[in-house]
Amino acid sequence: MIPFNKPFLTGNETKYIEQAVKSGKISGNGDFTQKCQRFFEDNYGIKKALLTTSCSDALEMCAMLIDCTQNDEIIVPSYTFVTSALAFVRQGAKIVFADSLPNHPNIDVSKLEALINSNTKAIVVVHYAGIAVDMDEVMRLADKYNLFVIEDAAQAIDSFYKGKPLGSIGHLAAFSFHETKNIISGEGGLLAVNDDRFIERAEIIWEKGTNRASFFRGEINKYGWVDTGSSFLPSEIIAAFLWAQLENIDVIQKRRVAIWDNYFEQLKQLISSRNITLPEIPDFSTNNGHMFYLVCNSLDERTRLIKTLKNSDILAVFHYLSLHKSEFHLKNNESVELPNADLFTDRLVRLPFYYELTNENQQKIFDIIVDFYKNEI
């Protein structure tokens, strides 16, 4: 069986977990937490990085930080994971879904201005597959209409827009270390704060609504409950696992990009011969080797391709279901037409992608896909 995903271990994960346990501190915000946070601040220019228990929690913190309320509208791409929207729904906001580009699942920036009104408070951009959204145009709109920009960088670690690290451009950003991501800790995430206005409050929300972190730094004589918040800190055990990954990020990324490049080189023949769409990398973006996908010609074709691969013990999967058509959203909102998001919902298929995917197994995948399309009419 060739699985869709397989978590990669560098070899130091259990060693660092043991160190954390023996240190006598396994609750949050210890030495390994600080190492991970400094890594993002030092390497990606983030003003304040805070580890969280998930990317979803980092997005929840974003919604709290911008004081999202029931009077606000938040623009979110429809083709994304549910928590890109849910974090703001939980604060009472109305979600305004935006369509994808015709040639890429990323949000169609050219359509954003038409969605902005006096109630719009923020734009959430998702860098799908680690490929950058056109952030210059997003930030231009944010400046023009006084909006916040939140980068959902769950898939975008170590990817760049015009030389700028993704997750460092918007006012706030969220990363994921779920086991399907490039850098993992099982579950886990990180809040990136890029606007000075939010730094102090972010730490308070992170620490259950208290100014506890300031107290431990000796900045105040006592700490107390001063704001909203929750227990967003992961344990040192999770941070220790994550540190073993981060210190090997160059090795991990080199291998993943090589796997991506091999997929593209072997399958690009299908672009012209069978009208299959492969991932497109715009000039302003780098590729971090997060995933590789095909866009089939129809839902039926995708279903048959996935079944053909499964019959050969290869697990390929589809991805998101358009959120604008979800049962939850339609309960209280009118239906809208977002054809590009629907196209990717019906036609996009993700191929197996993980560090230890061998060249031999990749070749098996290539052969089956090419044979499948040779038999297509």
Which CATH number goes with the domain that contains 20? Answer: 3.40.640.10
Residues 150, 183: one domain?
A: yes
Is residue 299, in this structure, part of any structural domain at all?
A: yes
Residues 242 and 280 in one domain: no
- Overall average pLDDT of the 141-145 stretch: 98
pLDDT value for 225: 86
Residue 201 counted as domain residue? yes
pLDDT of residue 224: 85
Last residue of a domain, one of 212, 227, 246: 246
- Let me know whether 56 and 86 are in one domain: yes
Q: Is residue 226 part of a domain?
A: yes
Whether the per-residue pLDDT at 364 is higher than 80: the answer is yes
pLDDT in tens, 277-290: 999 999 999 999 99
Statement: residue 213 has pLDDT above 90: no
Find the CATH number of the domain harbouring 348.
3.90.1150.10
Please write the tens of the pLDDT for every residue from 219-256: 666 688 888 999 999 999 999 999 999 999 999 999 99
Question: Does 5 map to a domain?
Answer: no
280 and 333 both lie in a single domain: yes
Lowest mean pLDDT among 18-27, 222-231, 318-327: 222-231
Full 3-state SS string of 194-227: CCHHHHHHHHHHHECCECHHHHHCCCCCCCCECC
- pLDDT at 218 > cutoff 90: no
Give the mean pLDDT of the chain: 95
- Asked whether residue 355 is assigned to any structural domain, the reply reads yes
Residue 163's contacts (CB-CB under 8 Å, 6 or more residues apart) are none
285 and 353 in a single domain? The answer is yes
pLDDT for 217 beyond 90? no
pLDDT in tens, 174-199: 999 999 999 999 999 999 999 999 99
Q: What is the mean pLDDT of residues 125-140?
A: 98
pLDDT band at 16 (very low <50, low <70, confident <90, very high): very high
Residues 267, 209 share a domain: no
Q: Which two tokens stand for residue 207?
A: 């620490």
Q: pLDDT at residue 129 above 90? A: yes
Tell me, yes or no, whether 169 lies in a domain.
yes
CB 314 within 8 A of CB 352: yes
Q: Are the C-beta atoms of residues 368 and 349 closer than 8 Å to each other?
A: no
Alpha-carbon distances of 163 from 61, 181, 252, 283, rounded to whole Å: 27, 22, 20, 11
Is 7 within a domain? no
> pLDDT tens-digit profile of 58-114?
999 999 999 999 999 999 999 999 999 999 999 999 999 999 999 999 999 999 999
Same structural domain, 258 and 345:
yes
Domain total of the chain: 2
User: Percent of the chain scored above 90 by pLDDT?
Assistant: 89
User: Among 224, 151, 218, which residue's Cα sits nearest to residue 190?
Assistant: 151
Domain annotation covers residue 309? yes
Q: Which of 211-215, 298-302, 344-348 has the lowest mean pLDDT?
A: 211-215
Structural domain range at position 208: 13-246
Read off the tokens for 178.
């779920």
Residue 184 and residue 315 in one domain: no
- Asked which of 163-177, 220-234, 326-340 is least confident by mean pLDDT, the reply is 220-234
Q: Where among 225, 246, 267 does a domain terminate?
A: 246
Q: Which residue, 214, 246, 278, sits at the end of a domain?
A: 246
Q: Tell me, what's the pLDDT at 334?
A: 86
Domain identity same for 321 and 360: yes
HEC letters along 118-158: CCEEEEEEECHHHCCCCHHHHHHHHHHHCCEEEEECCCCCC
Q: What are 21's two structure tokens?
A: 């346990």
Phi-psi region of 126 (alpha: psi -120 to 50; beta: other; left: phi over 0): beta
Question: Do 216 and 104 fall within a single domain?
Answer: yes
Instruction: Write the CA distances from 374 to 289, 314, 318, 369, 371, integer angstroms.
Output: 28, 19, 22, 9, 5
Segment 128-140 shows an average pLDDT of: 98
What integer pLDDT is reported at residue 333 of this predicted model?
A: 84
Q: Do 278 and 362 belong to one domain?
A: yes
Q: Between residues 125 and 217, which one has the greater pLDDT?
A: 125
My answer on whether 129 and 254 are in the same domain is no
The region of weakest confidence among 131-140, 158-167, 172-181, 318-327 is 318-327
Considering the entire predicted model, what is its pTM?
0.96
